């Protein structure tokens, strides 16, 4: 993100408003991620590489919320890391690390192991439960974020392909 982007602050503010109740802030970056020490969730503008694998996992576990934007799933998955991180045992953290280190990103079957990591499974579980319990609210958040994303894309001549 070398060039200065117009309306970036407004987009970040819109998304931060959605996750502020959890004590988090949002920042535009190249991927979705959670940074424990900063209480920060980063988000990406474009589809991330494993979105299909992620959505298959999430929607198979939570069919009641089928059709929710992958952006919102990813955002609340990262919030889920924040909400569940302290619940993981040292053994679960170590197992997650070992699984992630063993994954071959070129192998689709190997990539699916990612979702079995205790930390990733817990974050998606939290996200799915939250989305189910707050479906109308999440849909309203998505409408606001989608509007802000559209304005951001338009202001910066960005085309999502």
Tokens 């979702």 belong to 115
Tokens 């998606």 belong to 124
**161 assigned to some structural domain:** no
pLDDT given for residue 47 in this prediction: 63
**120 assigned to some structural domain:** yes
Convert the pLDDT of each residue in 74-123 to its tens digit: 999 999 999 999 999 999 999 999 999 999 888 878 888 888 999 999 99
**3 assigned to some structural domain:** no
Instruction: With a cut of 90, say whether residue 139 has pLDDT above it.
Output: yes
Q: 62: domain range?
A: 8-155
**37 assigned to some structural domain:** yes
pLDDT given for residue 159 in this prediction: 72
pLDDT given for residue 9 in this prediction: 93
**160 assigned to some structural domain:** no
Distance between start and end Cα atoms, the chain: 18
pLDDT given for residue 161 in this prediction: 55
Q: How many domains does the chain have?
A: 1
**82 assigned to some structural domain:** yes
Q: What is the mean pLDDT of residues 63-74?
A: 91
**1 assigned to some structural domain:** no
Answer with the residue of higher pLDDT: 18 or 7. 18
| pTM of the predicted protein model | 0.90
CA angle 54, 108, 58 (to 5 degrees): 15
């Amino acid at each position: 993100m070398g060039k200065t982007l117009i309306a970036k602050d407004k987009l970040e503010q819109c998304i931060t408003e959605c996750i502020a109740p959890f004590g988090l802030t949002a920042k535009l970056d190249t991927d979705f991620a959670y940074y424990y020490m900063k209480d920060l969730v980063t988000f990406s503008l474009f589809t991330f590489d494993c979105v299909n694998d992620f959505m298959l996992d999430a929607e198979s576990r939570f069919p009641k919320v089928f059709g929710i934007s992958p952006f919102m799933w990813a955002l609340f998955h990262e919030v889920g890391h924040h909400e569940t991180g302290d619940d993981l045992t040292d053994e679960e953290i170590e197992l997650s690390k070992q699984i992630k280190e063993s994954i071959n990103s070129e192998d689709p079957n190997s990539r699916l192991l990612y979702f079995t990591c205790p930390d990733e499974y817990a974050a998606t579980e939290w996200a799915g439960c939250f989305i189910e319990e707050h479906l109308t609210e999440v849909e309203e958040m998505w409408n606001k974020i989608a509007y802000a994303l559209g304005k951001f894309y338009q202001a910066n001549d960005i085309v999502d392909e």
